């Protein structure tokens, strides 16, 4: 299928063929008919991408701060890898479309194939022939509303949410500053609500359009009589509220709003404007009310609503993103508003660059509503895109999932090994798989996992998807006869683990998990120093992990399963490596807190007993300061001590002497080489399947210990 793409690193805009997106639970697959270019928002997005590195940094100082913090935490080299991966990526544009449902897996069974729907959401409702949309960002189109009109729905929902913040009453006088697409729709909604509307903009063309279609009166911001006209329009009292839909780097919209409002009036910020709020003379003396409007409405930026499909109760949250979309479509159906006069251009998706030339000012044409049109054609519904036909090698690799971690640590190290070929890559997002294909020179990309697993030439797969998918994909890959490298964790619950064990028993193949720390050079050195001591070890591990909010995907039980399952498994494996023995018992305690933002299980102390008599203590913390190094490992035994400091350096103590140890990283490259060497030589996985399963099972027993307050025995039949 065709999709409009921007290379974030170079800023280049182009239309390319990409695999159609996949569909999963809670999603609706839609064949677009029209998509709307939001000129203001998308112009800024494109211009950021087209700026140089310094320009990008100036416009996103928050990301610069994250980079600097990451350098302290992980070092310059690792941080540069992350930044390079983020910059060298493809970006989808667009967030407001209309089309027909191809198939749906929405949890409420509301959408059927053939239903006409409006779609919303950045990175979902993109300028592409086919899109996959979360169920709460889809709304059915009334029969008497055209697809062209319905493509405005997301912008309409944004305008509606702004007015819900303004809460305008019948007969009130409201000013709208910024008469672009959003401002014009806002004016129409206010008129439909029984308000008297005054519009302001810098463009004479937009002022004229508002005067002709949407506002009772509109004037240019530079009109010498603007303030006098506002006084006359409001009979000297000032506006009841001002809605700012402009995008501006200056503080002028805020200052102008304050000057033309009545006492106790309201300023509603919908557009992206500078917000230096001057206390005097107006905000303080008039006791003005300043309100922000958040995009399409309640649900925005809430993972549980947007991604997990959990709706808010109607009686308690009357207007959500989806309900705002539905309300706007109903207004279109009743002809209470009319967006047809706002459509100035319609381009086929193949000519999308011409549309953006207008948006970016390269082609000087008056414009406001620009639509991209898509024609129905079965050929675009393929899930596979083949670009290269490079010869495959003895180890022929397919990647299932290829996010930033895979692009930074897995794929480059497979290429570095040299005796493996990168054949296919599959992601749920067609553009994402095409990006990885182009960047790393895979032969093909797809959004259908079966197309990759059924390819006989591919004998080895790497799985780097969200955690909840690992066990299912491992099971399918085992049944397909593939060698497997899967990022941790192997499974997120005991039921999944049992299914993997059953599959491995029936279809045994080398199966490796991404427990990289045991492969770090400094880990191997410390283990060698404890060789043949013939007595138990005491191991202390402290992880200053840092805070992750509860809405992050790794914290969601059904997706990431939390940090005990997703991260602490690393250190259980490392202890198995140092002791050469199995965990047999575990006890855990976490903090107790009434603070709803804190996940108690992220601040935990775990005590492990091993079959050889060794004991291990894991202190995992999310309530510390990030300036402190993340990991410290201490190994004690037979009068010796080995210490690892954040896998940057370490020290070994023996007979009153110290030996300084250097580290070249956390073992990501070494684990890939070890796995691929084993596959090439026909050997077993570098980590035994039993050990992998024990590390995974132990994380579940840690959770059981927290819930019961009791030590838990660890045993497994593998």
| Interior angle at CA 89, CA 248 and CA 437, nearest 5 | 155
3-state SS, residue 510: coil
Q: Which pLDDT tens digit goes with each residue over 593-608?
A: 999 999 999 999 999 9
| Band (170; pLDDT cuts 50, 70, 90) | very high
Cis, bond preceding 648 (omega within 30 deg of 0): no
| Band (63; pLDDT cuts 50, 70, 90) | low
- pLDDT over 50 at 307, yes or no: yes
Of 281, 214, 223, nearest in space to 243 by CA: 214
Which strands sit side by side in the sheet containing 444-446, from one edge to the other?
Answer: 384-386, 444-446, 420-426, 395-400, 460-463, 483-486, 511-513
Rounded to two decimals, the pTM is 0.85
| Band (67; pLDDT cuts 50, 70, 90) | low
- pLDDT over 60 at 378, yes or no: no
Q: Tokens 């949890």: give the residue.
A: 107
Furthest C-alpha separation in the chain: 94
| Interior angle at CA 445, CA 444 and CA 450, nearest 5 | 105
pLDDT in the model for residue 35: 97
Could you give all domains of the chain from N- to C-terminal order, each with its CATH number? 2-148+325-374 (3.90.180.10), 155-292 (3.40.50.720), 384-515 (3.40.50.720), 517-713 (3.30.360.10)
Q: Which pLDDT tens digit goes with each residue over 531-552?
A: 889 899 999 999 999 999 998 9
3-state SS, residue 429: coil
pLDDT in the model for residue 49: 65
- pLDDT over 80 at 258, yes or no: yes
pLDDT in the model for residue 390: 73
| Interior angle at CA 185, CA 182 and CA 188, nearest 5 | 150
What does DSSP say about strands 420-426 and 395-400: parallel, antiparallel, or unpaired?
Answer: parallel
Rg value, the chain, Cα:
29
Cis, bond preceding 93 (omega within 30 deg of 0): no
pLDDT in the model for residue 532: 87
DSSP annotation string for 651-711: EEEETTEEEEEE---SSHHHHHHHHHHHHHHTPPPSS-HHHHHHHHHHHHHHHHHHHHSS-
3-state SS, residue 362: coil
Give the DSSP H or E segment for 33.
strand 27-37
pLDDT in the model for residue 66: 66
- pLDDT over 80 at 87, yes or no: no
Contact 107, 73 (CB under 8 A): no
Distance of CA 175 to the CA centre of its chain: 36
Contact 647, 522 (CB under 8 A): yes
pLDDT in the model for residue 55: 61
Backbone angles phi, psi at 305, to 5 degrees: -80, -55
| Band (61; pLDDT cuts 50, 70, 90) | low
Dihedral sign, CA of 524, 525, 529, 530?
A: negative
Contact 266, 288 (CB under 8 A): yes
Q: Could you tell me the two tokens for 576? A: 């198995």
- pLDDT over 50 at 379, yes or no: no
| Band (311; pLDDT cuts 50, 70, 90) | very high
DSSP annotation string for 297-308: STTTT-HHHHTT
- pLDDT over 80 at 657, yes or no: yes
- How many whole angstroms separate alpha carbon 214 and alpha carbon 197? 8
Within 13 Å of residue 268, how many CA atoms lie on the same side as its CB?
Answer: 27
Mean pLDDT on 662-680:
94
Cβ neighbours, 10 Å, residue 440:
17
- pLDDT over 90 at 528, yes or no: yes
pLDDT in the model for residue 432: 84
Q: Which pLDDT tens digit goes with each residue over 577-635?
A: 999 999 999 999 999 999 999 999 999 999 999 999 999 999 999 999 988 899 999 99
């Amino acid at each position: 299928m065709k999709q409009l793409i921007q290379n974030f690193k170079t800023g280049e805009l182009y239309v390319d063929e990409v695999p159609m997106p996949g569909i999963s639970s809670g999603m609706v697959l839609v064949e677009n008919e029209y998509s709307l270019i939001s000129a203001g928002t998308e112009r800024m997005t494109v211009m950021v991408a087209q700026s140089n590195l310094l320009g990008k940094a100036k416009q996103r100082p928050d990301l610069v701060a994250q980079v600097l913090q990451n350098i302290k935490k992980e070092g310059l080299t690792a941080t540069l890898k992350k930044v390079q991966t983020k910059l060298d990526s493809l970006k989808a544009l667009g967030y407001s479309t209309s089309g027909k449902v191809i198939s749906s897996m929405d949890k409420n069974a509301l959408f059927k194939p053939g239903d006409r729907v409006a779609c919303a959401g950045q990175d979902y409702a993109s300028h592409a022939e086919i899109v996959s949309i979360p169920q709460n960002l889809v709304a059915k189109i009334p029969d008497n509303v055209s697809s062209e009109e319905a493509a405005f729905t997301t912008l309409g929902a944004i305008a509606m949410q702004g007015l819900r913040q303004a809460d305008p009453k019948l007969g009130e006088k409201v000013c709208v500053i910024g008469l672009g697409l959003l401002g014009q729709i806002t004016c129409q909604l206010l008129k439909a609500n029984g308000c008297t509307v005054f519009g302001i903009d810098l463009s004479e063309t937009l002022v004229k359009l508002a005067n002709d279609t949407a506002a009772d009166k509109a004037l240019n911001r530079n009109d010498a009589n603007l303030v006098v006209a506002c006084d006359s329009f409001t009979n000297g009292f000032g506006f009841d509220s001002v809605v700012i839909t402009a995008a501006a780097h200056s503080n002028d919209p805020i200052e102008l709003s304050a000057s033309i409002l009545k006492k106790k009036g309201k300023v509603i910020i919908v557009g992206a404007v500078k917000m230096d709020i001057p206390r005097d003379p107006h905000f303080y003396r008039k006791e003005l009310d300043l309100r922000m409007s958040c995009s399409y409405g309640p649900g925005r930026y809430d993972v549980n609503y947007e991604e997990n499909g959990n709706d808010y109760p109607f009686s308690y949250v009357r207007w959500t993103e989806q309900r705002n979309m539905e309300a706007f479509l109903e207004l279109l159906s009743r002809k209470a508003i009319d967006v047809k006069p706002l459509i100035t251009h319609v381009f086929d998706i193949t000519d999308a660059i011409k549309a953006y030339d207008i948006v970016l000012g390269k082609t000087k044409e008056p414009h406001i509503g620009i639509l991209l049109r898509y024609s129905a054609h079965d050929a675009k519904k393929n899930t596979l895109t083949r670009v290269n036909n490079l010869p495959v090698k003895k180890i022929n690799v397919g990647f299932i999932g290829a996010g930033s971690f895979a692009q930074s640590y897995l794929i480059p190290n497979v290429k570095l090994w040299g005796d493996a070929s990168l054949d296919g890559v599959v992601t749920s997002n067609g553009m994402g798989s095409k990006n990885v294909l182009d960047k790393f020179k895979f032969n093909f990309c797809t959004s259908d996992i079966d197309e990759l697993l059924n390819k006989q030439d591919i004998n080895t797969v790497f799985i780097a998807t969200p955690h909840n998918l690992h066990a299912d994909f491992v099971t399918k890959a085992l049944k397909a006869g593939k060698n497997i490298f899967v990022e941790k964790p192997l499974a997120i619950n005991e039921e999944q683990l049992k299914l993997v064990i059953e599959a491995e028993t029936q279809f045994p193949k080398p199966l490796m998990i991404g427990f990289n720390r045991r492969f770090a050079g400094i880990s191997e050195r410390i283990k060698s120093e404890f060789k043949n001591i013939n007595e138990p070890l005491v191991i202390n591990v402290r992880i200053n992990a840092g805070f992750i909010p509860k809405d992050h995907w790794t914290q969601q039980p059904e997706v990431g399963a939390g940090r005990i399952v997703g991260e602490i498994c690393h250190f259980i494996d490392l202890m198995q490596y140092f002791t050469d023995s199995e965990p047999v018992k575990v006890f855990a305690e976490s903090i107790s807190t009434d603070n709803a933002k804190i996940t108690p299980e992220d601040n935990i102390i775990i005590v492990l007993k091993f079959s050889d008599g060794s004991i291990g203590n894991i202190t995992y913390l999310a309530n510390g300061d990030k300036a402190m190094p993340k990991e410290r490992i201490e190994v004690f035994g037979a009068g010796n001590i080995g210490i690892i400091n954040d896998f940057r350096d370490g020290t070994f103590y023996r007979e009153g002497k110290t030996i300084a140890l250097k580290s070249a990283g956390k073992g990501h490259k070494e684990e890939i080489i070890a796995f691929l060497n084993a596959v090439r030589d026909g050997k077993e996985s570098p980590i035994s399947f039993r050990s992998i399963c024990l590390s995974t099972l132990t994380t579940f027993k840690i959770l059981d210990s927290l819930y019961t307050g009791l030590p838990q025995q660890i045993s497994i039949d593998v």
